[in-house]
Amino acid sequence: MVNKFLAIYVTVSCMLFNQFTHAQKATNPIIFADVPDMSMIRVGGTYYMSSTTMHMSPGLPVMKSTDLVNWKLVSYCYDTLVSNDEMNLENGKSTYGRGSWASSIRYHNGTYYVSTFAATSGKTHIYTTKNIEKGKWKAISFTPALHDHSLFFDDDGKIYMIYGNKKLTLIELKDDLTGIKEGGINKVIIEDVSQPGETVGNSGLGEGSQLFKVKGKYYLFNITWPHNGMRTVVIHRADKLTGPWEGRVALQDLGVAQGGLIDMPDGKWYSYLFRDYGAVGRIPYLVPVKWEDGWPLLGNDGKVPETVDLPANKSLIPGIVASDEFSRKPNEPALPLAWQWNHNPDNSLWSLTTRKGFLRLKTGRLDTSFLLARNTLTQRTIGPVCTSSISLNVSGMKDGDVAGLCLLQKNYGFVAVQVSGNTKSIVMINAGNGFPETAASIPFTTNTVYLKAACNFTEKKDVADFYYSLDGKTWHLIGTKLKMTYTLPHFMGYRFGLFNYATKQAGGFADVDFFRIAGK
């Protein structure tokens, strides 16, 4: 009997120990939210990461971590990428899915550099600062837009970029970074990055270049996508930038790919990569790296681990997303970094001071489409499940106005207040099939309503429900379930958004008292 109880005790103890140790480790994904195209550096014991937010403003976010796992937003490289009809949502134009794409972050001689490129501007953009967290960014741009480039400062002081898709080109930049150096190196170094082996042959993709130098050798990371296969990491190495380059498949598991290398002060190495994960977007992973015969070996026996030997993940709230009561202390920024506008905002049409403690969204023109409405203020959704809720005062809305809480993507959905004549209605619009349909319309008479959206990204379920309340306590399901779909025209995970647009007359306003987000 004693032995039996001893066996039970040992078994339970082992289970508890395993659960405890599992809880003390980081789990993949490192960030369960849309943070694609990461580029990463380490400066001392601090890590900085840039990412893609495309058509959002401000843009080109920079995040900070001290453990590679838990990140917080600290800066944006620009407020406005460019001011044109596409970025301003004017004259029926937009730049969904474009804006600024994959960036490259570097630290060189006391200066931080973040570069990107944009079809929207037709240029390559480089931003520099001495203080990456609090300093102002200096902007440099030149033509052409160098696709998925990797900025690189070599030991001899020369500055390069490697760019392209499948056919990769090495170019030398001017010392002041204002353009391509005349008479400098300009050479195709890899004819087809997708051809190091049969497992990645016939790929229509060979991009996402990220270049590193380790112990005198150059290592170039790229992503390929074999026909009928999965997203794959390919690494090339060379003794000289001009080549010759030799390549091999580095990781082919779960579609986790595109990224690069990062080392820790204790000598450990990791590769940061991301995974397409349905409607929530492209989510970051970390895989351990070992070195063998001068090659980085990614993963555990070529597999992406569920856990990595790093500190446990903390909540993404408030580092990546954040609740907001819209009350500001003196010298606080008007909007926390978690917020981004859908395209460039019209700053004359929103305020946090007109009615203190509220975000006022005013209408300044007529719009026929929710997706072309200006001044939609957004935050990421997060997985595996999350909810957001708002309190909305509608006493200033005019006939034809629509204001509320959305889930923004091409196949969007929202719950909102719609004014028609003297009647106010709570409506749920479902565009899950690509076309907006009114799934519910409920008249009401009060001036304040509460709206909520709940998302479930567990195992790519990608569904959302919308709710309303008249007292902030009792919630009612409204409309139909939104089937969320990650679409390439928007090229971004679903975002919560606050909006107000006019269809009949400009000049109305809606006041948001709070935005509260919760996740699991």
8-state DSSP, 16: H
Length of the chain: 520
Prior bond of 58 cis (ω within 30°): yes
pTM, 2 dp: 0.93
Share of the chain above pLDDT 70, in %: 94
Mean pLDDT in the chain? 94
Is the pLDDT at 164 greater than 50? The verdict is yes
What the block records as the tokens of 164 is 């392209």
What the block records as the tokens of 87 is 């970025």
Confidence band, pLDDT 50/70/90 cuts, at residue 423: very high
| Nearest CA-CA partner of 398 in 372, 421, 427, 425 | 421
What the block records as the tokens of 397 is 């809305």
pLDDT of residue 520: 85
pLDDT of residue 75: 97
Confidence band, pLDDT 50/70/90 cuts, at residue 282: very high
pLDDT in tens, 220-229: 999 999 888 8
pLDDT of residue 210: 98
Residues 118-127, mean pLDDT to the nearest whole number: 97
Residues 287-309, mean pLDDT to the nearest whole number: 97
Query: CA 506, CA 316: separation in Å to the nearest integer?
Result: 37
pLDDT of residue 8: 46
Pick the range with the lowest mean pLDDT from 198-202, 291-295, 407-411, 474-478. 198-202
pLDDT of residue 10: 43
Is the separation of the CB atoms in 145 and 124 below 8 Å? yes
pLDDT in tens, 3-41: 554 444 444 444 444 444 456 899 999 999 999 999 999
* Structural domains for the chain: 29-308 (2.115.10.20), 340-519 (2.60.120.200)
Sign of CA dihedral 228, 232, 237, 241: positive
Burial class (CB in 10 A: 0-12, 13-18, 19+), 351: middle
Is the pLDDT at 472 greater than 80? The verdict is yes
Is the separation of the CB atoms in 456 and 384 below 8 Å? yes
Is the separation of the CB atoms in 362 and 500 below 8 Å? yes
pLDDT of residue 422: 94
68-103 as b/e: b if 16+ CB within 10 A = bbbbebbbbbbeebbeeebbbbbeeebbbbbbbbbb
Element at 135 (helix H, strand E): none
Query: CA 470, CA 453: separation in Å to the nearest integer?
Result: 15
